[in-house]
A and B are shown apart, each in its own frame.
Chain A
Amino acid sequence: MRRVVPIGPYHPLQEEPEFFKLIVEGEKVVDLEINIGYNHRGHEFISPTLTWDQVPFLVERICGICSDSHPYAYVLAVEDCAHITPPPRAQYLRTIIGELERIHSHYLWLGLAGHFIGYNTVWMWVWRYREPLLDLFELIMGNRNHYAINKIGGARRDISPEDYPKIEEYLDLLEKKNAMFTKAILDDPVIKARLEGVGILSREDAIAFAVTGPTARGSGIAIDVRKDDPFDAYDKVDWNEVVFDEGDVLAKTKVRLIECDESIKIVRQCLKKMPEGPIETRVEEIPPGEGIGRYEAPRGEVFHYVRSDGSNMPVRHKVRAPSFMNIPSNVVAVRGYSIADAALVLAAVDPCYCCTERTYVYEKGKRKYDGQDLLKLSWGKTEQIKRRYKK
C-alpha cells in the first residue's frame, strides 16, 4: 500500500523552503515528487532595474552560504561581455576568498550530516573549526558573510600584508584538523556502514540530469569549472580535481573532505604568489553584447548570463544556481531506499536536508511522524549498525 510522507515545505536542516513528497510502500521509498518556489524572490526581474555596479550586491544575497559565488559568476559574465581583464592582484584576492568560502561551506554540510546520522561529536567538532574561519573573514573582509569582494574589473577590498600570518596560522590549524576529520570519519566502521551504498546516483543518471559539483564528482564525472574553464588565479596554482566513482553518500563526503585540503593548498600558493599592484581597473562602459560567467561554487557550477544594450543596466540577467540542476536528481537517487536513508540521501546534494522542524506525517487525521521522529529514525538506524559492530 502506498503512503505519502511529506518533507517540507520548510526544508531540511538548513532551513530552506523546499517540499519533498516521498511516496512509500512500508519503509521503502518508491517515488519522489519535488516542489520548489516557496522563496522565489524575483532576482532576474529586479536585476535589470539596477545599474551594473549595484547588481553584485543584489546577487550576493541570493545565498548566504555561498555568497561569494554568485557575484563572482556575475562579474565574470560582465567581464566576458566587455572583454575586461582584472589586474593580477585582484585575481588572486578573489581566488583566496572563493576558496576560503568553499572550506566553510563544506564544513557546514559536514557538521549537519554528522548531526543527521546521530554523530553529534562530528557536528560539534567540525563547527568548532569553522568558527575561526568566519572570524578570519570578519578580520580581512569586515564581515562574517557577504564579503563584497567582487567588482567588475577587479576587487573591492585588499588584504593587508599584516593579515597574511593570521591566514597562514589558520590554514596550519585547519590542515591538521582536516586530516584528523578525514581519518576519523572515513575510518569509523559505523559511519562507513551508514553511508556506503546509500543513495547511489549512477554515472548515466548524473549525466542525464546534468548535475554539477561534488554531486557529479562523487558519481565519477570529472567536471570542475576551475579546471575546465580556468579563470583568475586557478590556472596559476597547482591543485588536483577530486573524483570518486561510487556515487553514494560516502563518495560525496569524501569529495568534500578532500576538496577542503585542495582549497588550503590553493590559498597557500595564492598568498605566496600574490603580486603587488592595483586591485581594480577603470571600467568606462559596458558595450552592447552578451556574456557568460561560470564559477565553481561549493555546490556546483553557478551560471550567469548577461545581455547589455550599451546602457548602464543589464537588459537580461539569467541566474542558474547549482542546486537547480542537482535537486531533480534526488528522484532517482532516493528510489528504493528506506525512509531513514531518504533523509540522508536528500541531504547529500548539499542544500537538501530532511526538514526536521516542520515535517509531519498524518495518518487518519492523527500525527504520526514529525521532524524529530524522522531524525530519530535516522539515528535509530545508526544505533543498529553500531550494535552490530559491537558484537
Chain B
Amino acid sequence: MKKEYSKEILEEISAKFPKVSIKIHSPRRTYIRISRDEVYDFAKFLFEEKRFRLSTATGIDTRDGLEIIYHFTLDEAGTYYNIKTVIPKDDLRIRSLASFLPAANWVEREIHELLGVDFIGHPYLKPLLTAETWPADLHPLRCDYADEHKDIKIKKKP
C-alpha cells in the first residue's frame, strides 16, 4: 500500500514539474534533480500541499559546482525524497526556504557558514556553529579549504 502511494506522488511531481529527473535508488530512497530556480516553488509545493517534512539539507563541494541536497521525507510512506540542485561556484546564491518553513532556518545557516552559500531572503543569516572570531570568508567544508590548510591537517605529534 505504501509503495503505491509513493508512486502516485512521483507521477504528480513529474506532471507539475516536467523538467525534473527522478532516480529511484531503493524503494524508500528517491533522488530528484532540479534546477536552482525551481527549488523554492518545488519545496513550497512539497511542504504546503503534500505535507512533507524537511529533515535537513546537505551541501557538497563538487567538481561541477556546489551541490545542495534538501532531504524531504514523507513519513506516511516512510520515503526520503532528496531534492538535488547544483549552483555554480562563481554565483553561490539560492533562494531561502526559511520564509515559509521555520525548520530551514538553522539548516541554511549551517550551510551558509560551512560552505559559503548565500541564502537570499533568510531572516537571520549569521554564523551558527563556528566561533565568533572565525573569519567570515573561510568555509571549512570547501575543497579549497582543505588544500590551503593541508600542512595543518596532516601535522602529527612527534
Contact = CB atoms under 8 A, between A and B. Distances in A.
Interface of A: 36-37, 40, 42, 44-45, 49, 80, 83, 207-210, 222-223, 228-230, 289-292, 294, 301, 303, 305, 307, 315-316, 318, 320, 324-325, 328
Given A42-B140, A45-B140, A292-B80, A207 B29 contact: no
Q: Tell which of A40, A289, A292, A305 has the most Cβ of chain B within 10 Å.
A: A292
A116 B82 CA distance: 41
B128 A37 contact: yes
A311 to B, nearest CB: 15
B56 A320 contact: yes
A291 B31 CA distance: 11
Given A37-B128, A49-B153, A292-B71, A210 B29 contact: no
9 contacts: A37-B128, A42-B140, A208-B101, A209-B103, A210-B55, A223-B75, A228-B76, A292-B71, A316-B60
Contacts of A223: 53, 75
Contacts of A44: 114, 141
Contacts of A210: 53-55, 101, 103
Contacts of B24: none
A303 B71 contact: yes
B131 A328 contact: no
A292 B82 contact: yes
Question: Which bracket fits the contact residues of B?
Answer: 35 or more
A37 B102 contact: no
Nearest to B106: A328
B94 to A, nearest CB: 17
B58 A318 contact: yes
A209 B26 contact: no
B105 A305 contact: no
B71 A324 contact: no
B14 interface: no
A305 B54 contact: no
B130 interface: yes
Interface of B is mostly: mixed
A83 B77 CA distance: 20
Contacts of A209: 102-103
B51 to A, nearest CB: 7
A325 B103 CA distance: 7
B75 A303 contact: no
A129 B125 CA distance: 45
A210 B106 CA distance: 12
Contacts of B131: 37
A241 to B, nearest CB: 11
Interface string B45-85: 00000010111101010000000010100011111101000
Contacts of B55: 210, 294, 301, 303, 320, 325
A391 B72 CA distance: 53
B129 interface: yes
B29 A208 contact: no
B129 A37 contact: yes
Contacts of B80: 292, 294
B29 A292 contact: yes
Contacts of B51: 207
A210 B73 CA distance: 10
B28 interface: yes
A209 B106 CA distance: 10
B110 to A, nearest CB: 8
Interface string B115-158: 00000000000011111000000001100000000000100000
Given A229-B28, A291-B29, A320-B55, 11 more contacts: A37-B131, A80-B26, A208-B101, A208-B103, A210-B54, A223-B75, A229-B79, A289-B25, A303-B71, A305-B58, A316-B60
A19 to B, nearest CB: 12
B1 to A, nearest CB: 13
Contacts of A208: 101-103
Contacts of B105: 328
A40 B60 contact: no
Given A207-B51, A229-B78, A325-B103, A36 B60 contact: no
A248 B53 CA distance: 22
B29 A36 contact: no
A289 B29 CA distance: 13
A328 B141 CA distance: 24
A308 to B, nearest CB: 12
Contacts of B127: 37
Nearest to A48: B146
A305 B71 contact: yes
A324 B109 CA distance: 12
B69 A40 contact: no
Nearest to A321: B56
Contacts of B130: 37, 40
Contacts of A318: 56, 58
